[in-house]
Structure 1
Amino acid sequence: MKVFLAIYDEGSVTRAAQRLCLTQPTVSYSLAKLRELFDDPLFERTPSGMRPTESGERIYGDFCGALALVEHAVDSNKVFVAAQSQRRFRVSMSDIGELVFLPPLLERLSAEAPHVALEVVPTVVEAIPEMLASGRLDAAIGNLAGVRLGSTTRTTLFRERYVCLLSRHSGSIGDQMTLDAFTAARHVVVSSPFTGHRMIEEALREHGLAQHIKAKIANFTGLPGLLARTNLVAIVPSRVGKVFLTYGPLRVLELPIEMPTFDVTLHWHTRQHNVAATAWLRDVILETLHESN
């Protein structure tokens, strides 16, 4: 089941083998046995990678659920010793999360659990509950107001607000972002299914500034270089703005318009609530991100 799910997720036998720390022939052998068992190829080679057949799609959900139950049964009876564990945790976060959350988390893990691995899995917000339920994610961090609760549990890490980020050399804008300057500015927005910050573009539209959106980019990490060399203005979470100030000649100004604050939350599946390993991971995330708040 692990081999099947790895090939499904990675779209490649080679990448599945790397993910499972197995040799490629071992993964190919396991796939051959599965094909024999189900009397179906399960995957077909395409120019874009291994694509599941109809049968492959049908058994995918069953395998996810079955493997999650097995792993839960095993993990719930294990004693977790962080300093000795070689477990690989899979956490969903956006590129913003990688900028703000990942450095202190990895620093903490290196000190307390040097053999533990952390894999960041970019996941569209709508898919997070299913990924948690199937065991393909251990946790999800971010602005995840759109995630339905159901079998998902969450806790708030901190409350965040938005600010303006722009070049230090934008001479037409002074030490304060006035409403006139903001409405006259040329804006850049980030449009990505991996982030919950869609309200930024919505806020600009509500203030009649849709025509002032002069650029759309796929992730926040492209902003510093873009802003440093143009007169564009971006709306970003305050912690992101603080990080970006170290990237180049940029500055942060308060917004002249009202925008709601938002909660950065940690989500996990209720089935994992009392599993020692994932409970430890959640405690590390909570303590680390509260400390850096």
Structure 2
Amino acid sequence: MNPAIEILRLHSYAGPNIYGPHAGVLLRIRHSRDAAQDLREQIRDAAQMVGLVIAYLETEAHPYDSGFLLQARFNTNQPTIGAALCRIVVDALRLDVTDTDALVNLAEECRQATLSAAAVQLLAEARRRGMPTLIRPDGKLQLGYASRHWVCDPQAATIPLPPWERIGSIPITLVTGHDLRSSLVEHSAAPFHEAGMPIYSADGLDCSALRDLLCDPSIEALVVGLDTESIVQYGLPLDRCEQAVIGDMGGPRPPSADSDAEWLRAIGLPMLLSHNPARFNLGDARLHALIHYAPNGVVNL
């Protein structure tokens, strides 16, 4: 038994996140030695045992206090199961014995969440057409967002042909920051109100709340202020937006961010999802490091 082994961070990302554009898992643990290779092998073997498909598995080690900080990252379409797998792996490292019953149970959970061949083909066709997709909280597969979405059972052997002409995204504005965020949400929603267009706006939303709105068929356009702590922990449940508004780096560092760099990445994440120039508060010099990474440039607020 090695009581020095301890989980410091375990994040399951629903989608684009501060470390990459895909759903996945980040694990950081305290260890008495450089066991990065052991951690990699344990995660790989456990994933194969439960039937979890993972990609781009990376591990690294850094001196930390009197021992080492080990980090593992990987992509997976089932991040919740991936995070549970990491807990089992860390327990195995700590106790020098693997909980095979836990792995068996996780394998069954993974099997139940596996998409049918028909759903896999449907996803491939949706991506070929550039359609957004997501797995809903009820486990259903959704193509499109909000009022332009369509839902099916991802375990069904056969799936009806979707109404492709009605499926797609909606106008979505994502606002980040702290001190200015609430007022920027109101300012961003104002043009919709002035034009008499239906718009749903809200501030301080976490990943789960935003996903719920993306599943709401009554919503035709969204302006949302995003909780920075939730972005650090869970990423974002969508892969696109029409407009990103980057407000400020005010307030305290989010508890789940281990550095100012992670905090800054979380604030800037929406600009990577927008096909338009990001609306940017150039008055906050702490944000300037993000400008180089804006794929379509920035315009001042």
Tell me, yes or no, whether TM beats 0.5.
no
Normalising by structure 1, we get a TM-score of 0.25
Normalising by structure 2, we get a TM-score of 0.25
| Structure showing greater relative contact order (alpha-carbon pairs closer than 8 Å, 6 or more residues apart) | 1
In terms of Rg, which structure is larger? 1
